[in-house]
Chains A and B, each alone.
Chain A
Amino acid sequence: DIVMTQTPLSSPVTLGQPASISCRSSQSLVHSDGNTYLSWLQQRPGQPPRLLIYKISNRFSGVPDRFSGSGAGTDFTLKISRVEAEDVGVYYCVQATQFPHTFGQGTKLEIK
């Protein structure tokens, strides 16, 4: 299975400041069809996960543009340009290039 490693595991951030989460995969996520199936999920407290970003950098429907994704191959980043209170929760990267889909350990975003 592909191992997904996120850093940091905890990120205290001041409201209005940027935040960044890194995700590294144990092997390239480039699929034989040329796509890279790397997504980012947000899980607010007591809620199911919600899709934020798919195929590295595409924002899902309804996701604010303060969220952005980047990267290639094995290294990926989720950035929040200005953290708001509603962004508190756990963020996961997930790969769907190979089954089973595997998730990072999660990064807990909290407000300082």
Chain B
Amino acid sequence: EVQLVESGGGLVQPGGSLRLSCAASGFTFSNYWMNWVRQAPGKGLMCVSRIKSDGSSTSYADSVKGRFTISRDNAKNMLYLQMNSLRAEDTAVYYCVRGGWPLDYWGQGTLVTVSS
């Protein structure tokens, strides 16, 4: 069974940093692109970042470019999102999602709240 379990969310002040983690199991992690998708409270979905199966290619939404960094450790079956210079508008549930296409399995999400 495919499982994606996010952790690392919490309350952070504007300008602060957080590192999200996603533990993957039930599939060959190193074979898949992985993504972070976020959902602001009561709002729709937005693709934040993605990373190729071997980590050689990454992409970011314009709104997070230069502030967020996606990475992975295929030996540990882990996906990460380093978030710096956080803003109030980054407040959202962050989902770890498998797939280049389609986005086929989603974790339960971890809530990031940016507030003073």
Contact = CB atoms under 8 A, between A and B. Distances in A.
A66 interface: no
B108 interface: yes
Interface stretch (B14-22, B24-32, B82-90, B96-104): B96-104
Contacts of A92: 44-45
A107 to B, nearest CB: 11
Main secondary structure of the interface of A (DSSP, over half): loop
Contact of B106 (A48, A96, A106): A48
Contacts of B100: 96
A67 to B, nearest CB: 14
A48 B59 contact: no
A101 interface: yes
Contacts of A101: 35, 37, 47, 50, 103
B68 interface: no
A102 to B, nearest CB: 7
A100 interface: yes
28 contacts: A39-B102, A48-B106, A48-B108, A48-B109, A49-B95, A50-B106, A51-B102, A51-B104, A51-B105, A51-B106, A54-B102, A55-B102, A60-B102, A92-B44, A94-B103, A96-B100, A96-B103, A99-B59, A100-B46, A100-B61, A101-B37, A101-B50, A102-B47, A103-B44, A103-B46, A103-B47, A104-B44, A105-B44
